[in-house]
Amino acid sequence: MTDTMLLQNLRPFGAAATDLLIENGQIARIAPDQRAGEGVPVEDCQGAILLPGLVEAHTHLDKSLWGMGWREHQAGPSLRDKIDTERRLRREWDIDPHRQSTRQALLSLGHGSTAIRSHVDVDTETGLAGIAGVQRTRDELHDQIDIEIVAFPQSGLMSRPGTLDLLDAAMQAGADVVGGLDPCGIDADPKGQLDAIFALAETYGKPIDIHLHEAGELGAFSMEMILERTRAHGMQGQVTVSHAFCLGMPDRDRARALVADLAEARIHIATVATVSRPVPMVQDLRDAGVILCAGSDGIRDTWGPYGNGDMLARAMLLGLRNNLRADPDVEHALWCCSWGGATVMGLKDYGIEEGCKADLVLIEAETVTHAVVSHPPRKLVLKGGRVVARDGAALKAAP
């Protein structure tokens, strides 16, 4: 059986060296000096650090240009211009959601991510083609990586008639999460959009993840409407706000009061640690007990030329953006890129204890903080106890 194996000489989260036995895809025993039973494969990890599979908690698998050759960035600075440029280039270039999502998922897997939450565009032009393409990738890679699909109204919901019906159809077709986008800034109809997506979430019994780029007081206003509806619908613990740039507003007291409300309503925050915008501060959220997860956002797409899907590098960016220097603080940045994302995605049996799923990554580094700042190629990645990537690359070839 390939999902049973013995990993020798590894250091869980940088602790003392030990051995780890995997049986039926689960961590069966962590103890030093274990002997392999007959026929059980053994891997010498040479003192590598063991972490749970990393979690890419916010990205857009359907529209990466990865593997399509270098494309000059064409979009202007505004959000609206990025949306319009993407709609145009989607017609001009062959950005196939199935092929591109497969490429990006395997790239992430090579970097040790074993779970991905992907927002996938739903609009009146692309319809459900993106959802169908990423669903196919999810099915084909089901034994390599967990992919969760957010039905995402990228071009607007209330401001683009017909999109709400498509979002409903996407949920019917099996999307996992209801998406939303700047209810004031893009739709100019916060009540309309938020009432619609909370109703969809209730109908299908699914969580919500809203992109909220709105800065300052406008974003705070939308956030208060999201808080109100989270409480009214009893959706505590099932709502994520992505970006939440308003929490980086200069009025720190106002931001912290909002964070306290988020904690009380158990609303999660997803961040990219954007360098060019104000962002929610790691320490504020941590002090208040708000779960923070992280993601790459778009990787080499029409929105921007950056990104490579490495969540250890993302943890480093999170540390840099938040001035985290002490080892326990950098370890927390890694926590956001692993346990934080797993909490937001509701992954079962996640972690590196006996009984957890053997979704694991091994890294050659002295300590966890050293792994974050140096993010060397991942030595080994396992999914459900099976080796799926080695030396920085997925074993399965990308299309």
Positions in the binding site for Zn ion (CB under 5 A): 297
Of residues 187 and 331, the one with the C-beta less far from Zn ion: 187
Least distance (Å) between residue 255 CB and Zn ion: 21
Alpha helices in the chain (DSSP H): 79-92, 97-110, 129-140, 163-172, 190-204, 216-232, 252-264, 282-288, 311-321, 327-335, 341-345, 368-374
Least distance (Å) between residue 316 CB and Zn ion: 20
Least distance (Å) between residue 303 CB and Zn ion: 8
Of 51, 82, 60, the closest CA to residue 360 belongs to: 51
Question: Helices 190-204 & 163-172, crossing angle to 10 degrees?
Answer: 20
Of residues 12 and 307, the one with the C-beta less far from Zn ion: 307
Of residues 90 and 378, the one with the C-beta less far from Zn ion: 90
Of 345, 325, 384, 280, the closest CA to residue 57 belongs to: 345
The token duo for 150 is: 């957010």
DSSP state of 245: G
Of residues 62 and 297, the one with the C-beta less far from Zn ion: 297
Q: Which amino acid is at 211?
A: H
The token duo for 24 is: 């039926």
Of residues 27 and 292, the one with the C-beta less far from Zn ion: 292
Least distance (Å) between residue 272 CB and Zn ion: 7
Least distance (Å) between residue 243 CB and Zn ion: 7
Least distance (Å) between residue 144 CB and Zn ion: 23
d(CA 388, CA 170): 30
Residues 203 and 197 sit within 8 Å (Cβ to Cβ): no
Q: What is the dihedral of CA 307, 345, 110, 18, to 10 degrees?
A: 130
In a 13 Å sphere around the CA of 71, the CA atoms on its Cβ side amount to: 23
Least distance (Å) between residue 54 CB and Zn ion: 18
Contacts of 69 by beta carbon, 8 Å cutoff, 6+ apart: none
Contacts of 178 by beta carbon, 8 Å cutoff, 6+ apart: 150, 151, 167, 171, 197, 200, 201, 204, 206, 207, 208, 209
Residue nearest to Zn ion (CB): 297
Of residues 6 and 83, the one with the C-beta less far from Zn ion: 83
d(CA 152, CA 180): 6
Least distance (Å) between residue 154 CB and Zn ion: 9
Q: Is 294 exposed, middle or buried (0-12, 13-18, 19+ CB in 10 A)?
A: buried
Strands 360-363 and 380-383: antiparallel
Least distance (Å) between residue 182 CB and Zn ion: 11
DSSP state of 158: T
Of residues 115 and 380, the one with the C-beta less far from Zn ion: 115
Of residues 297 and 301, the one with the C-beta less far from Zn ion: 297
Of residues 123 and 297, the one with the C-beta less far from Zn ion: 297
